[in-house]
Structure 1
Amino acid sequence: MNEQDMLAMYEKAGALLNGHFILSSGRHSARYLQSALVLMDLNNATELARELVKKVDASTVDMVVSPAIGGLVIGQEVARQLNKPFLFTERKEGEMQLRRGFSIPEGSRLLVVEDVITTGGSVRECMVVVREHGGVPVKVLAVVDRAPGVEGRFDVPYATALTLDVETYAADACPLCVDGGVPAIKPGSRGAA
């Protein structure tokens, strides 16, 4: 499966949206990727995870972790294909935490999996939690990188299946807001930052 096939998968699912969106990071964009619409088809989840699994050596990973909520489906499918335990971090009162009885054995090597990366904030928060619980993040995988070429985003290697360079704007410098044509909507899983 190549990038065009993956993009077509998003388009067919109605998951590549155009308009005026507020991203989880608080930034604004004229395009939005609603991965949940793609991943609700388990065949799509299987295919996308297969592409991600090609980018990691399973022997270097003990567990797979994802930040909730976007990374849950793809993270679990990657873990299934790697035959590794899966856990996730989630926000409680605005703070990323490890909950639900999950634990990370000291020194465990964790693969962090996300659906879409723009700023990488959720992934970095997830990695902090992993380290606080004695784990060692070894690599980040994501289905889509919305902001390719960002240097120093993570302190571990990362790879994505699909690169889609989508311009984003600070809320106070958004030309879509200045134009006033289309109201901004927040389709994601978290309140704007």
Structure 2
Amino acid sequence: MTDEDILREFRNCEALLEGHFLLSSGRHSGHYLQCARVLMNADRAANLARATVQKIPREIRNAVDLVVSPAMGGVIIGHEVGRALGKDAVFLERPDGEFHLRRGFRLEPGAKVLMVEDVVTTGLSSREAIAAVAREGGEVIAECALVDRSDGGADLGVPFFPLVDISFPTYTEAEVPAELAAIPITKPGSRAS
């Protein structure tokens, strides 16, 4: 899949939104990628996952024991990446604001983990999820995502393989341009306020 093919998938299912959004990272943007919409079709989700997996070097793919993703955004794509790799996929939740494995999920000591996200903006959620895997006894050896919107600036501390790079500007609250500030804010992400 080319970058344009991927963007067409987002546009066709109304997953590329315009407005004033407060992202999970705490930054503001005039654009939001609603990955749940692009992933709501199982065939499309599977195709995107297979394309994402192909971005990961073979030696890393072969070393993965388990796929882990943060809830909510990473759950569907994490499951599909697990399917594409032939590996189990589990997810982390934030019942108290910090990521934990729940629902009986656990990691074998030293498990080699592929972290899977839908969108990476600053990498904050990814770093928190990677830290949670370490607390649980695993080792994140790489991360993949459908979209890197960090403009290459997200430092995750592990190799990072996004399917596509999309650079929409983001702003701190103090940097929000007047034309964006005039639009009511929508907070579509999963991070608690």
* Common fold: TM-score over 0.5: yes
C-alpha spacing 1:123/1:179, structure 2 compared with 1 (3 Å): closer
What TM-score, normalized to structure 2? 0.94
Match of 1:66 in 2: 69
C-alpha spacing 1:81/1:125, structure 2 compared with 1 (3 Å): same
Match of 2:92 in 1: 89
The sequence identity of aligned pairs, in percent, is 45
Match of 2:184 in 1: 183
| Paired residue type of 2:192 | G
CA-CA distance at 1:179 after TM superposition: 5.8
SS at match of 1:9: helix
| Superposed counterparts of 1:15-26, under 5 Å | 15-26=15-26
Structure 2, unaligned runs of 5 or more: none
Structure 1, unaligned runs of 5 or more: none
CA distance in 1, matches of 2:99, 2:187: 20
Please say if residues 49 and 81 of structure 2, whose CA atoms lie closer than 8 Å, have aligned partners that are also in contact: yes
Asked if 1:159 is matched to 2:170, the reply is no
For structure 1, which segment, 110-119 or 93-102, has the greater mean C-alpha deviation from structure 2 after superposition? 93-102
Asked if 1:110 is matched to 2:113, the reply is yes
Structure 1 residues 50-87: Cα deviation after superposition (integer angstroms, max 9, x where no partner): 11111233311000000000000000000011111111
CA distance in 2, matches of 1:31, 1:118: 12
What TM-score, normalized to structure 1? 0.94
CA-CA distance at 1:181 after TM superposition: 2.1
CA distance in 1, matches of 2:84, 2:130: 22
Please say if residues 70 and 129 of structure 2, whose CA atoms lie closer than 8 Å, have aligned partners that are also in contact: yes
Match of 1:36 in 2: 36
Provide the alpha-carbon RMSD of the alignment.
Answer: 1.3
SS at match of 2:151: coil
CA-CA distance at 1:173 after TM superposition: 2.1
CA distance in 1, matches of 2:41, 2:146: 15
CA-CA distance at 1:180 after TM superposition: 4.0
CA distance in 1, matches of 2:175, 2:185: 13
CA distance in 1, matches of 2:87, 2:114: 10
SS at match of 2:19: strand
CA-CA distance at 1:26 after TM superposition: 1.1
For structure 1, which segment, 102-111 or 167-176, has the greater mean C-alpha deviation from structure 2 after superposition? 167-176
Q: How many residues align?
A: 190
CA distance in 2, matches of 1:47, 1:13: 15
SS at match of 2:99: strand
C-alpha spacing 1:179/1:20, structure 2 compared with 1 (3 Å): closer
